[in-house]
Amino acid sequence: MGRIGYVFLYICLALVAVFQIFPLIWLLMFSLKDNREIFAESPFALPGELRFENYLNVWEGGIGLYFFNSVWITGLAIVLTVLFASMATFAITRMHWKLNTFVLGLFMVGLMIPIHSALIPLFSMFLSVNLIDNPLSIVITYTAYNLPITIMILLGFYYTLPREIEEAAIMDGCSVHRLFFRIILPMTTPVMSTTVIINMIYNWNEFVFVNTFISSDKYKTLTVGIQNFIGQYMTDWGAIGATLVISVIPVLLAFIFFSNKVVDGISSSAVKG
């Protein structure tokens, strides 16, 4: 590719970057306005006065609790999903038993089940065991729904792990459990980072399950709690913008700190798989 080709490529990449970053900048400016500025002026106009009190108002209005709920529910669901998916993938790919292909097929069927088709059965099941309006129902649902895609991502990497390492460990007296936790699991760190990011994006932004299973404000997450700022006659749109900015920050930070590991995990799975 010549110099002109590189110049054209960088111009295209710069335009893509602008289109990707502009909505975030617009959202930040939106969160620093009041209703008068939002509706009376152009939506792309800069705020006449930076109203940082919007952030203080939403934090005092309960966003801190919703943020904390999103953090611990998302984190717990990610830990359980990645751990269970790693165990299942290890058993399917590294151990010889008759039903491993059948079990893998059952997990892959989970990719074809629409979320909305499972709402009523899940609600009935959680109601029968008194888990409605309980955050445990959300953690269980997130874990179950993310297992198939997580296993699918891990499969390619697990299939190509050298068996000589396992054989040497077993010959040294290593048990299966110790083999998995001490040797196999640390070796899959790059691809696990990819699954963590994917699970985080889904869990953090999920709305339907929380809105269906949770009714108490003390258990709501950010995606559902934002509805508290929408009134019947009056809506504080600046506060909603501030809430959205707060909800975006953890995902952006995760991408900033783990983007290299995500790329390494995807490339490792692609090359080795």
Q: What is the DSSP string of 73-113?
A: HHHHHHHHHHHHHHHHHHHHHHS--TTHHHHHHHHHHGGGS
CA angle (94 as vertex; 89, 97 as ends), nearest 5: 95
Burial zone of 14 (CB within 10 Å; 0-12 exposed, 13-18 middle, 19+ buried): exposed
Name the CATH topology of 57-272: MetI-like fold (1.10.3720)
> 36 or 86, which is more confident?
86
Q: Estimate to the nearest angstrom the gap between the alpha carbon of 183 and the chain centroid.
A: 26
64 within 8 A of 163, measured Cβ to Cβ = no
Q: Which of the residue ranges 13-22, 31-40, 249-258 has the most confident prediction, judged by mean pLDDT?
A: 13-22
The model carries a pTM of 0.83
Instruction: Give the closest residue to 159 by CA, choosing from 104, 233, 231.
Output: 104
Amino acid letter, residue 253: L
Per-residue pLDDT, 149: 92
Per-residue pLDDT, 45: 80
Per-residue pLDDT, 4: 81
Instruction: Give the closest residue to 30 by CA, choosing from 43, 12, 49.
Output: 43
Per-residue pLDDT, 252: 84
In this prediction, residues 69-83 reach a mean pLDDT of 95
**How does residue 212 score in pLDDT terms, banded at 50, 70 and 90?**
very high
Domain assignments of the chain as residue spans, ordered by start: 57-272
Question: H/E element holding 166?
Answer: helix 163-171
**How does residue 265 score in pLDDT terms, banded at 50, 70 and 90?**
low
In this prediction, residues 174-201 reach a mean pLDDT of 87
